[in-house]
Amino acid sequence: MKRSYAYLLVAAGIVAAISGVAIAQQAATPAATAPAATAPAADAATPAAVTPAAAFDIKSVEAMPVGVERGKAIAAGLCAACHMADGNSAVPLQPKLAGQHPAYLEKQLMDFITVSPQAKKENPDERVRDNAIMKGQVALLSADPKQYANDVKSLAMWFASQKLVPETSKGVNPTLGMGIYRGGIPSKGVPACAGCHSPTGAGIPNKYPRVSGQFADYAEVQLKAFREDQRKNSPANQMQDIAKKLTDTEIKAVADYMAGVR
Ligand code: HEC
Ligand code: HEC
């Protein structure tokens, strides 16, 4: 048992090293479809392995102007492993970014790096949107604030320009889900989601994100995070206040409805 496990680790290390090399070779001419998609499995087995993130040097894009080409290069080098190079993630807890409003994407990428004004002594590094995984990822973007802003503008432009491959509803509780989405829950003071996210789920640029076609599991996690004050970055606490009034059953139903709403 032990020996075959060790062998697996070595094999995974080799795979990771090879994909790392492949990425390094690609850095000069970034491809839309990075082989980074194979990385997470290797990461899980060998935390110390060479990851695509380590192989990509953000300095390689510093001279590029703000725009989709710069965004595409960074996405292929750093984001593809989880969100895919075109932002059509295949993993439910790694949100789809394709076709999202650029101002919303940009805001999230600023919120992941900005230390919260409400950070307490216990967690002085708490971010405006405090997520351990994305905290690690934004640390790989440019350290210089001006260059960082250029990175996130470019990434937002790139992912926003990509065509969303949408999720569909699994029919969890369509009557409840649609009812909440379109009409809210008047007895509890829950407003209609459609009022801000639009009847089709397309959102309203620049303030309200698209929710149509997103993974239901991701939406559920976000709604619970808003409810438990783990995600606190909605302006004027709008989403926190709404989510606090929702039960688990209501969250599941509306999250599933949003995946399919068009
Ligand atoms: C190791 C996996 C991983 C990598 C690599 C990664 N992300 Fe993420 N990303 C996540 C996860 C997980 C979340 C959901 C966080 C949460 O639950 O709040 C997320 C969330 C986001 C969001 C918020 C989306 C929304 O709808 O609110 C944005 C924007 C984002 N990532 C951009 C990026 C960019 C740009 C890169 C590359 C520089 C990147 N991510 C690299 C895992 C990753
Ligand atoms: C008053 C306007 C408003 C209403 C009504 C509203 N939302 Fe939102 N919602 C927002 C804003 C603003 C954000 C983005 C917050 C931020 O900047 O991170 C958001 C974000 C979200 C997100 C996270 C999206 C992502 O990609 O991470 C989900 C999920 C969501 N809303 C679901 C709902 C549901 C379900 C309802 C109805 C029960 C609803 N919203 C009603 C304003 C609203």
What angle in degrees, to the nearest 10, is found between the helix axes of 102-113 and 145-160? 140
Q: Say if ligand 1 is within 6 A of residue 110 CB.
A: no
Residue 39's φ and ψ, nearest 5 degrees, are: -65, -45
> pLDDT per residue over 207-216, tens digit each?
999 999 999 9
Q: Say if ligand 2 is within 6 A of residue 239 CB.
A: yes
What average pLDDT does the chain have?
Answer: 87
Total-model pTM: 0.85
52 neighbors 78 (Cβ within 8 angstroms): yes
Any idea which of 16-30, 35-49, 147-161 has the lowest mean pLDDT?
16-30
CA-based nearest residue to 73, from 89, 56, 48: 56
Task: Tell me: pLDDT of 239 over 90.
Answer: yes
> pLDDT per residue over 56-98, tens digit each?
999 999 999 999 999 999 999 999 999 999 999 999 999 999 9
Q: Say if ligand 2 is within 6 A of residue 179 CB.
A: no
User: How confident is the model over 195-202, as a mean pLDDT?
Assistant: 98
What pLDDT is recorded for position 54? 57
CA-based nearest residue to 219, from 235, 201, 236, 204: 201
- Sequence-distant (6+) residues with CB within 8 A of 100 are 87, 159, 160, 164, 209, 210
Give, using CA atoms, the residue closest to atom 28 of ligand 2: 219
Locate the ligand 1 atom nearest the alpha carbon of residue 109 and give its number: 29
What pLDDT is recorded for position 55? 83
